[in-house]
Amino acid sequence: MFPLISPDVLADLRGLSMVSCGVAIGVGAVLWLFGWWGHRFWIVLLTTLGVGLTGLAYGQHLGVPPPVAGLLLALAAGMLALSLARIAAFVSAGLLAWLAIHHYLPAWDVPLVSFVVGGLVGVVLFRLWLMALTSLAGVVCAAHGSLLLAEQLGKLDASTWAAGHQQLLLIVCAGGSVAGVFAQSILERWQWNRQRRLEARAAAEAEPAPAPAPVPRRRTWWQIFSTEADYRRAA
């Protein structure tokens, strides 16, 4: 079974401070609720960090000082990140589809077909896929932070407990991801309605004010005893 909450990661992070655990939980909550709302920020941030760290790691092999390689690659990746967003969606959806079929449906395990079909679904359902991906990432991040925090408080051994409850953790992560998709959809609908109301209010304020009603002229003394019909008869 492919572990979403890895006991090895929990064992490696054992001893993490309570503040760091709280930060992990907070980042997970932000991803879970605002993943699609700020997806451009997350795409640029993760792409820049990932490519920059790759430049630091392999810059020496390219004949460039690692800090220079990391800075140049991070700058280029940050500028191209939004243009490559759908490629990233294709690759991430394809990899996740292949891993899911490889671990849970081994009889259907055809890597190329799984990767391509999953990637195409991720591109076609780009918005839904990013909602699901950020929601799942938020749940996994918050779950790791919560288990490590519980271990810091002396409640349990996080690594051992996670190793013995993988099925429960998988159900929790899947349910939390689905709930996150609904929460992000509701938040996006609220934001859209709010934007429409603001636009309607701005349009109403931009309309020209109605012309003032004409002030009736003061009638002379002889008009008091005559009517408009009298004028017509006289004409």
Residue-wise pLDDT tens digits, 113-171: 889 999 999 888 888 888 888 899 899 999 999 998 888 887 788 888 888 888 888 89
Task: Please state the rounded mean pLDDT for residues 192-204.
Answer: 85
Given a contact cutoff of 8 angstroms between Cβ atoms, the answer to whether 89 and 123 are in contact is yes
Per-residue pLDDT band at 1 (split at 50, 70, 90)? low
> Taking residues 171-176, what's their average pLDDT?
90
Q: Closest Cα to residue 51, out of 27, 82, 72, 65?
A: 72
Give the global pTM.
Answer: 0.71
Given a cut of 80, whether residue 231 has pLDDT beyond it is no
* Mean pLDDT of the chain, nearest integer: 81
Give 38's contacts (C-beta < 8 A, 6+ positions apart).
none
CA–centroid distance for 123 within its chain: 16
Distance CA 96, CA 117 (A): 11
Helix ranges, 59-110 (H)? 66-80, 85-104
Q: Tell me the C-alpha distance between 2 and 174, whole Å.
A: 13
Q: What is the pLDDT of residues 20-74, one digit of tens each?
A: 889 989 989 988 988 877 777 777 887 888 888 888 887 777 777 888 888 888 8
Length of the chain, in residues: 235
pLDDT for the residue 156: 81
Q: Mean per-residue pLDDT for 69-97?
A: 84
Domain positions in the chain? 7-201
Q: Tell me the residue type at 76.
A: A
Mean pLDDT of 180-205: 86
